[in-house]
Amino acid sequence: MTQTKRADVHNSDVPVLCRSCEARHRGVCGALTPPQLLELAKHTAKTTIAAGSPIISDGDNIQRYANILNGVVKLAKLTSDGRQQIVGLQFAPDFLGRPFSERSEFDVEAATDVYVCSFPKDTLNRLAKQSPELEHRLHEQTLKELDEARDWMLALGRKSAAERVASFLHFIALHIHPEADDTKGAVQFDIPLTRSDMADFLGLTIETVSRQMTKLRQAHVIEIENNRTIAVADLSKLKQASETNRD
């Protein structure tokens, strides 16, 4: 039986390091032609960043952008009294950076070990001017982040503590397993945040987060296999818990 090779993976005009990269197939680099990918590849660097390490600080000059290839990144702001507020999470193959901006607006930190492919800001900005499709992809990423921020405004403003915790777990499950079917699928994943960070992200106390996690386990919505590994037998139940629970 003859097997047909995927043209997008095996195209000999595409740089070797880009051929199997999910950021090329599902991320912003999918908008680039093989010659543009080759130009970008000349300036890329793939790096592993340890969990808890800063990537860029609020107010720093932006010199490089990156595609997240693996792991989770958290975006945070500090309040005037020094408290941290997590304002977003990014996953593979998200684009890390603010196109055409001079300075970072957030503290960006590796929530887990993160593997990134980075490249100079000026190189990508130049390619974006040549490629309307790349500008379109970058715009889509911005709108996606805006939609997620609005969803969390709803969660923080209207949802109960139980709904917030279930919503967070459902959000993580679908981002780590984007192929999952939330009407019937089963998944397992590691929570990328500590309980303290979860509480910060959800506007709850650590005790409340732990209590609601226990309730979800007792209701057989989730299984907690260790402190951070979650197994969900039926994503539809988790989705329902994120929408209809009441304290």
What average pLDDT does the segment 102-123 reach?
Answer: 92
- Residues 173 and 54 grouped into a single domain: no
Q: Are residues 70 and 173 in the same domain?
A: no
Are residues 47 and 104 in contact, defined by beta-carbon separation less than 8 angstroms? Answer: no
Q: Which of 98, 120, 152 is the last residue of a domain?
A: 152
Whether residue 70 has pLDDT greater than 90 = yes
What is residue 137's predicted lDDT score, i.e. its pLDDT?
86
State whether 38 and 61 are in the same domain: yes
Q: How many domains does the chain have?
A: 2
CA 162 to chain centre: 23
> What residues make up the domain containing 117?
13-152
| Structural domain includes residue 2 | no
* Contact between 212 and 167 (Cβ < 8 Å): no
Domain-terminating residue out of 152, 168, 196:
152
Per-residue pLDDT averaged across 145-155, rounded? Answer: 83
Residue 239's CATH number? 1.10.10.10
The pLDDT of residue 111 is above 60: yes
Query: Which helix H or strand E contains 68, and what residues bound it?
Result: strand 64-70
The answer on 202 and 143 residing in a single domain is: no
Do 102 and 53 fall within a single domain?
Answer: yes
Residue 145 belongs to a domain: yes
Residues 195 and 139 in one domain: no
Both 180 and 146 in one domain: the answer is no
* Pairwise CA distance, residues 132 & 145, whole Å: 20
186 and 170 part of one domain: yes
Average pLDDT of the residues in 41-52: 92
Residue 6 lies in a domain: no
* Residues 191 and 140 grouped into a single domain: no
Confidence of residue 244 (pLDDT cuts 50, 70, 90): low
Crossing angle for the helix pair 195-202 and 161-176, to the nearest 10 degrees: 110
Q: Are residues 183 and 141 in the same domain?
A: no
pTM, whole model, 2 decimals?
Answer: 0.83
Choose one of 134, 152, 170: the last residue of a domain: 152
Residue 10, pLDDT > 70, answer no
Q: Give the residue-averaged pLDDT of 170-187.
A: 86
